[in-house]
Amino acid sequence: MSGTASTSYRERNSTADRALDILLMFTDTHLVVSGTAVAERLGVARSTAYRYLQSLVNSRFLEEAPGGGFRLGLRVMEIARLARRSYGLSEVALPAMTTLAEDVRETVLLTRRTGELVVCVDRAEAGTGAVRISYERGSTLPLNAGAAALVLLAWIPDEDARRLLESADLRRFTPATLTDVDTLMQRLAHIRRAGYSVTRGELDADVMGVAAPVRDEKQQVVAAVSIAALASRVFPEAEAELARKVQETAREISERLTAVGG
Amino acid sequence: MSGTASTSYRERNSTADRALDILLMFTDTHLVVSGTAVAERLGVARSTAYRYLQSLVNSRFLEEAPGGGFRLGLRVMEIARLARRSYGLSEVALPAMTTLAEDVRETVLLTRRTGELVVCVDRAEAGTGAVRISYERGSTLPLNAGAAALVLLAWIPDEDARRLLESADLRRFTPATLTDVDTLMQRLAHIRRAGYSVTRGELDADVMGVAAPVRDEKQQVVAAVSIAALASRVFPEAEAELARKVQETAREISERLTAVGG
DNA sequence: ATCAGAGTCTTGTTTTACAGGACAATAGGT
DNA sequence: ACCTATTGTCCTGTAAAACAAGACTCTGAT
């Protein structure tokens, strides 16, 4: 891992970093950016920004938006498909997730953690729910709220989990959101003993979640399977049953994963 | 599938281009790349390649693969979600596509063209088909084969279509694949008159497709809707009926698109 | 007609990214 | 135990590549 404690990070702004940073400017509310905005954000001359933009357009990571500006290009979708395949999770997990979704008639999610963020890698939905729990592939979730995030933290070394939680900005989403690191750490210990997590209204007031860990051939936790349901539809007495089912599904996926990996 | 283009142009490789090129090294058969392979492919020193790699890992476009090497990171899935939203197609199109898929009990695709490539942007699948037509989001299709590709070419100026077809490498996928530019151009004219396209076994011997154009508020063709079905399940007499239904769906999507855009 | 903003190019200057090589750690082969 | 081939990290002097500035075109608004 790290050679010494002092990680002398190089000046974070190389040419490549800046080009990549452009891709990070896009958000749900900012689907189109202009060259001038890019120059400003990057702190470079306009001509320089356009040079980057050209590289990105040439490789189709960006395309010109109708009516001016730039938006994300189809290349992004191409490599996203490959990214999904890279993890080796989806092919194996999706059938089991679909079965679970149909069984409990709720949305089932497969998530992975990257740094301080949890990303939805796959989703299975029950046929015709009146209310939609709308997490898509690529949606990001916070570290401190949601059943899946807690599971993904529970099985890494405590010191790592603490460091992550301390460096992340723990936003409050609802009155029930946990933002205190010590409280969260206790919660993780509890989850580790139980083997699953249950949350209620910590991320979205009306939603509850139940999650369990997926392990690879080395028994490392590499993902989480979770059920996301309208909180009012699931009485506390029913939680145990859901937990059993998610754990069962997670175990099934883990087994197939080790079978493939070995 | 086809290998990527062989090492060719060292013409205008800026630093940003090279960093981006790393992302293009990944293919279905090459889900993990090593630093040495990157250096070789880019034609730079190993230390330089690793510098790029660090930038990509820091921004989470890549992550270290278990057991060495690098693979695509979760950031790619994050921005792919945004890319999908950028086009404003999916939200509007998916309900209509699902309806069509359930009606005809076949796979329905939404595709866009970028340069010499057609990319699947969305998909709706009939519940429980025994045979799966397995195009996913992000899958790429050639310009010269498949009903959708022909539709996407038919409504751009003839000279542009010809130039695209001439510069693309028109591979032969089956005996029925068209690779002659003049023949293809005649085909496009025919499709333009008919308002839809039908192909049989030109891309995959056992598959047939029917496609129709989706237009934005300016009446520009921005996407194609297509039905992909097992060829043996669809008799020639049934083609007209399918064509009518795809056109109807495409028109419906176009109308909602103009309603939103205006 | 005028203005503001987007996007494109060229040029001279110097900043920045490069190659090469030393180094550590790991895995496989003998 | 050895040796060899890999992967990934870090440092330094050099020179090549990227930079800022500004001139230019083309829009669409007012």
Residue B39, nucleotide of least CA–C1' distance? C19
Contact B85 A19 (CB under 8 A): no
List of E strands, chain A: 62-64, 70-72, 107-114, 117-124, 140-141, 197-200, 207-215, 221-230
Please give the model's pTM, rounded to 2 decimal places: 0.91
Is the per-residue pLDDT at A104 higher than 60?
A: yes
Give the pLDDT of residue B9: 32
CA atoms within 13 Å, Cβ hemisphere of B139: 15
Q: What does the DSSP assignment read for A158-202?
A: HHHHHHHHHHS-----STT----HHHHHHHHHHHHHHTSEEEESS
- Rounded to the nearest integer, the mean pLDDT of chain A is 91
The residues of chain B that CATH labels 1.10.10.10 are 15-77
Give the pLDDT of residue B3: 31
Cβ(A21)–Cβ(A42) below 8 Å: yes
Put simply, whether A69 touches B (Cβ < 8 Å) is no
B200-224 per-residue burial string, b: 16 or more CB within 10 A, e: under 16: bbbbbeebbbbbbbbbbeeeebbbb
C-alpha separations of B184 from A79, B2, B143 in Å: 29, 21, 10
Pairwise CA distance, residues B218 & B261, whole Å? 9
Size of interface A-B (CB pairs under 8 A): 170
Contact A15 B16 (CB under 8 A): yes
Contact B15 A17 (CB under 8 A): no
Put simply, whether B217 touches A (Cβ < 8 Å) is no
Pairwise CA distance, residues A243 & A197, whole Å? 8
What is the mean pLDDT of the segment spanning B196-207?
A: 96
Is the per-residue pLDDT at B62 higher than 70?
A: yes
Fold of the CATH domain A15-77: Arc Repressor Mutant, subunit A (1.10.10)
Pairwise CA distance, residues A55 & A47, whole Å? 13
Pairwise CA distance, residues B68 & A89, whole Å? 18
Nucleotides of D under 7 A from a protein CB: 6-11, 17-23
Pairwise CA distance, residues B231 & B234, whole Å? 6
Residues 181-200 of B with CB under 8 A from A: none
Distance A46 CA to D23 C1' (A): 14
What is the mean pLDDT of the segment spanning B141-156?
A: 96
pLDDT digits (tens, 9 = 90+) for A38-65: 999 999 999 999 999 999 999 999 999 9
- Rounded to the nearest integer, the mean pLDDT of chain B is 91
Distance A172 CA to D3 C1' (A): 58
The residues of chain A that CATH labels 3.30.450.40 are 88-261
Higher pLDDT, A258 or B185: B185
Per-residue H/E/C for chain B? CCCCCCCCCCCCCCHHHHHHHHHHCCECCECCECHHHHHHHHCCCHHHHHHHHHHHHHCCCEEECCCCCEEECHHHHHHHHHHHHHCCCHHHHHHHHHHHHHHHCCEEEEEEEECCEEEEEEEECCCCCCCCCCCCCCCEECCCCCHHHHHHHHCCCHHHHHHHHHHCCCCCCCCCCCCCHHHHHHHHHHHHHHCCEEEECCCCCCEEEEEEEEECCCCCEEEEEEEEEEHHHCCHHHHHHHHHHHHHHHHHHHHHHHHHHC
What is the mean pLDDT of the segment spanning B215-226?
A: 93
* CB B20 within 7 Å, strand D: no
* pLDDT confidence tier of residue B128, bands split at 50, 70 and 90: low
Minimal Cα–Cα distance from A98 to chain B, Å? 12
Facing residue for A80 by CB, picked from B32, B51, B138: B138
Q: CATH second-level architecture of A88-261?
A: 2-Layer Sandwich (3.30)
Pairwise CA distance, residues A170 & B238, whole Å? 58
B107-114 and B221-230: which strand pairing?
antiparallel
What is the mean pLDDT of the segment spanning A163-169?
A: 94
